[in-house]
C-alpha cells in the first residue's frame, strides 16, 4: 500500500503538472496585451514587430498548445454532454458580455463591416468558421478553438480520442496546400486556421506523451518546426500582413514558450504567474475594451504613461470579470453536470 507521504507527493506532482498550463496562459495573455499596447503607442515598435517578432502571435500559438493539451485531458474524464456544458459556461457568458460592451462602443462601425447576419454569427462564436470578421478583435481565435473542440468531441464519440492528435498532420497538409495556392495565385488564403489547428494537435500529442509515454509528439513537433516556416516562405505574404520571417519566428517562439514551461512542470510556479493564468481569458477578451475606454475618457497622454496605466487597470478588470462572472459561470456548469452524472470528474481542468 502506498504511504501517506507517497500519495501526498503524487498529488503535489499532478497539481504542478496542471499549474504549468496556467503559467503558459498567464504569459500568453500578457504577451497579447503588450503587443496591442506597444504597437498602438510606439510607431518604432510597430515597425520592428512587423519585421521581426509579433508577441501577440507568440501568445496565440501558446494558447492553442494549451487547448490541445487541456481538451483531451478534460474529455478523457467526462461525457460529451458534460464536456459541452462546461465548455459553454466557461466560454460564452464572458464572451457575450465582452462582445456587448465592445458593440456599445463601436456598434455602427461593426454593423457596417459584418452586417446583421455576420453579427449573429459573432454572437454564436462561429464567425471565423465562415470567414466573417470578428466583431470583438481578439475573438478571432475562438471559432478556431471551437473547431478543435468539435474535432476532439467527434473523436471521443467514436472512442478514438487520441486520433485527434494525428489529425494535426491533416491540418498541416491543408496549411501547406493553402500556402502553395498563395504562391501560385498571389492571393491571400486562410492559412492561419489550419496552422493553429495543427498547433492544437501538437498540444494533444504532448498530453499523450505525459499520459502514456506516446512518441507521437516528436514527428508532429518536428514537422511543425520545419514545415510551418517553410509554408510561410512559400506563401510569401501576398497581402502584406505577415512577412514570412515574422510569421515563422513568432510561431516558433510560441512553441518554445509552451515547451519551456512544460519542462519546468515539476517545479513550483509563483503565485503572480498562476494568478495571471487564472484571469487570462478575461484579460484576453476585455483588454481592448479597457484600452478603448481609456483612450476615449481618461485624458492620459499617449506613450509610456498610457501603457503603464493600462497594465495596471487591465489585470484589475480581468480579476473582477473572473471573480464576478467567469468563475460563477464555470461553477454553474459544474453544478449542472454533477446533477446529470454524479461521477463526472468535478475537479478536471476546464
Report the alpha-carbon distance of residue 183 to residue 175 in Å, rounded: 12
Residue 266: band (very low, low, confident or very high) from pLDDT cuts 50, 70, 90:
confident
Q: Is the pLDDT of residue 181 over 70?
A: yes
Domain ranges of the chain: 13-340
Q: What is the pTM of this model?
A: 0.92
Q: Is the pLDDT of residue 79 over 90?
A: yes
Q: Backbone dihedral region of 231: left (phi > 0), alpha (psi from -120 to 50 degrees) or beta?
A: alpha
Q: Is the pLDDT of residue 8 over 50?
A: no
In this predicted model, what pLDDT tens digit does every residue of 12-46 receive, in sequence order? 445 556 899 999 999 999 999 999 999 999 999 99
DSSP symbol at 133: P
Residue 2: band (very low, low, confident or very high) from pLDDT cuts 50, 70, 90:
very low
Specify the residue for cell string 509579433. 54
Which CA distances in Å does 35 have to 38, 102, 288?
5, 19, 11
- Report the share of the chain in percent with pLDDT over 90: 83
pLDDT of residue 14: 54
DSSP symbol at 137: G
Of residues 113, 139, 104, the one with CA closest to residue 125: 139
Report the alpha-carbon distance of residue 175 to residue 234 in Å, rounded: 11
DSSP symbol at 318: H
The residues, any chain, with a CB within 8 Å of residue 149's CB and separated by 6 or more, are 71, 87
DSSP symbol at 134: P
Report the alpha-carbon distance of residue 296 to residue 298 in Å, rounded: 6
pLDDT of residue 17: 65
pLDDT of residue 123: 97
Q: Is the pLDDT of residue 197 over 60?
A: yes
Q: Is the pLDDT of residue 124 over 60?
A: yes
Quick check: helix, strand or coil at residue 189?
coil
Query: Helices 192-212 and 55-75 sit at what angle, rounded to 10 degrees?
Result: 50
**What is the average pLDDT value for the chain, to the nearest integer?**
91
Which CA distances in Å does 289 have to 76, 109, 132, 296, 337?
36, 15, 21, 11, 32
Most confident listed range (34-43, 126-135, 262-271): 34-43
Q: What is the mean pLDDT of residues 222-239?
A: 91
Q: Is the pLDDT of residue 3 over 80?
A: no
Q: Is the pLDDT of residue 47 over 70?
A: yes
Of residues 218, 223, 222, the one with CA closest to residue 173: 223
Q: Which helix (H) or strand (E) holds 201?
A: helix 192-212
Residue with the bigger pLDDT between 239 and 317: it is 317
Residue 350: band (very low, low, confident or very high) from pLDDT cuts 50, 70, 90:
low
Q: Is the pLDDT of residue 335 over 80?
A: yes
8-14's contacts with Cβ under 8 Å and 24+ in sequence apart are: 13/266
Give me 108's grid cell: 455602427
Report the alpha-carbon distance of residue 298 to residue 280 in Å, rounded: 24
DSSP symbol at 242: S
Q: What is the mean pLDDT of residues 335-339?
A: 90
Q: Is the pLDDT of residue 344 over 60?
A: no
Amino acid at each position: 500500500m502506498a504511504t501517506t507521504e507517497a500519495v501526498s507527493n503524487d498529488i503535489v506532482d499532478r497539481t504542478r503538472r496542471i499549474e504549468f498550463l496556467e503559467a503558459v496562459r498567464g504569459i500568453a495573455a500578457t504577451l497579447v496585451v503588450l503587443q496591442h499596447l506597444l504597437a498602438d503607442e510606439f510607431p518604432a515598435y510597430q515597425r520592428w514587430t512587423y519585421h521581426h517578432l509579433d508577441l501577440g502571435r507568440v501568445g496565440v500559438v501558446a494558447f492553442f498548445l494549451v487547448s490541445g493539451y487541456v481538451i483531451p485531458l478534460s474529455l478523457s474524464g467526462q461525457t460529451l454532454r458534460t464536456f459541452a456544458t462546461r465548455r459553454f459556461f466557461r466560454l460564452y457568458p464572458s464572451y457575450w458580455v465582452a462582445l456587448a460592451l465592445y458593440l456599445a462602443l463601436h456598434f455602427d462601425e461593426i454593423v457596417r463591416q459584418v452586417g446583421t447576419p455576420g453579427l449573429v454569427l459573432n454572437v454564436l462564436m462561429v464567425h471565423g468558421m465562415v470567414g466573417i470578421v470578428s466583431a470583438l478583435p481578439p475573438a478571432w481565435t475562438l471559432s478556431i478553438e471551437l473547431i478543435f473542440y468539435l474535432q476532439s468531441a467527434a473523436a471521443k464519440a467514436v472512442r478514438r480520442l487520441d486520433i485527434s492528435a494525428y489529425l494535426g498532420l491533416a491540418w498541416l497538409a491543408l496549411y501547406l496546400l493553402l500556402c502553395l495556392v498563395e504562391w501560385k495565385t498571389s492571393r491571400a488564403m486562410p492559412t492561419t486556421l489550419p496552422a493553429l489547428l495543427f498547433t492544437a494537435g501538437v498540444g494533444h500529442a504532448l498530453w499523450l506523451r505525459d499520459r502514456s509515454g506516446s512518441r507521437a509528439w516528436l514527428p508532429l513537433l518536428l514537422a511543425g518546426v520545419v514545415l510551418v516556416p517553410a509554408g510561410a516562405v512559400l506563401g510569401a505574404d501576398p497581402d502584406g500582413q505577415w512577412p514570412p520571417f515574422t510569421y515563422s519566428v513568432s510561431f516558433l517562439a510560441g512553441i518554445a514558450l509552451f515547451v519551456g514551461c512544460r519542462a519546468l512542470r515539476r517545479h513550483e510556479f509563483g503565485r503572480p504567474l498562476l494568478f495571471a493564468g487564472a484571469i487570462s481569458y478575461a484579460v484576453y477578451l476585455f483588454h481592448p475594451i479597457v484600452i478603448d475606454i481609456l483612450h476615449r475618457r481618461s485624458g492620459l497622454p499617449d506613450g509610456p504613461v498610457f501603457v503603464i496605466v493600462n497594465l495596471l487597470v487591465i489585470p484589475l478588470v480581468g480579476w473582477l470579470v473572473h471573480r464576478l462572472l467567469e468563475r460563477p459561470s464555470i461553477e454553474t456548469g459544474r453544478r449542472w453536470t454533477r446533477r446529470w452524472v454524479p461521477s463526472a470528474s468535478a475537479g478536471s481542468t476546464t
